[in-house]
Chains A and B, each alone.
Chain A
């Protein structure tokens, strides 16, 4: 595997379900991100992990719970979601300073539908 991978690629869940999204980066980066992409909206940054510590949480509802067990893996745990949470969830990674760059490498995303 190369780059940034995400599983599953598609997920349909009911509002009472609990599911998790997985992201893995094979680039040796030390920072990982979760974004939400809805129709006709800019990419919304949800969480940032740098060196496995959460450094940003952009007022995301508690029904979204991130987990970063190591620098290569990132999870997004979902529970009691709402239909408006249906979106494409993108994971990205980058190399933070020192010696890094601003470029973020994205995975293909998980298309989530909440019924």
Chain B
């Protein structure tokens, strides 16, 4: 069945270092991918997205890379800060179904930033 999974459940990084969070997806027909950040006590918040016709997209301090050959997605955070500590989810969207958009979420990676 469709599934999205994460390689590392917890990632600990030193403040100021770069972080890389990985995600594997299973549906080769998925055409949209999104990263969410969830801080303690809050709902998931959008970070960055990418469409399948791209292999890289940059935001402010974040970069998403998409490798469709191996169905792999990664989120890179530059100069990680204490405020980046959270759980990060990737999600994929299969082709438009039943006139509705649908997101399938991965299990999440917890990012811990050491001062």
Q: Which B residue sits closest to A96, measured CB to CB?
A: B100
A81: Cβ under 8 A from any B Cβ: no
**B93:A102 contact, CB within 8 angstroms:** yes
- The residue that B43 contacts in the complex, of A41, A55, A109, with Cβ under 8 A, is A109
Contact residues of B: prevailing secondary structure: loop
Taking residues whose C-beta sits less than 8 angstroms from the other chain, chain B's interface range is 20 to 34
Check B43–A103 contact: CB distance below 8 A: no
How close is B7's CB to chain A, nearest CB, in angstroms? Answer: 14
Q: Which of the candidate stretches A12-20, A42-50, A71-79 sits at the interface with the other chain?
A: A42-50
Cα–Cα distance between A104 and B92 once the two chains are bound (Å): 12
Chain A's interface size range is 20 to 34
Q: What 1/0 mask marks residues of chain A from 75 to 108 whose CB sits below 8 Å from any chain B CB? A: 0000000000000001010101100111111111
Query: Are B105 and A55 touching (Cβ within 8 A)?
Result: no
CA gap between A108 and B49 in the complex, in Å: 21
A-B contact pairs, 15 of them (CB 8 A): A40-B107, A42-B89, A43-B89, A48-B100, A50-B99, A55-B98, A56-B102, A90-B43, A96-B101, A97-B101, A102-B49, A102-B93, A102-B103, A106-B45, A109-B43
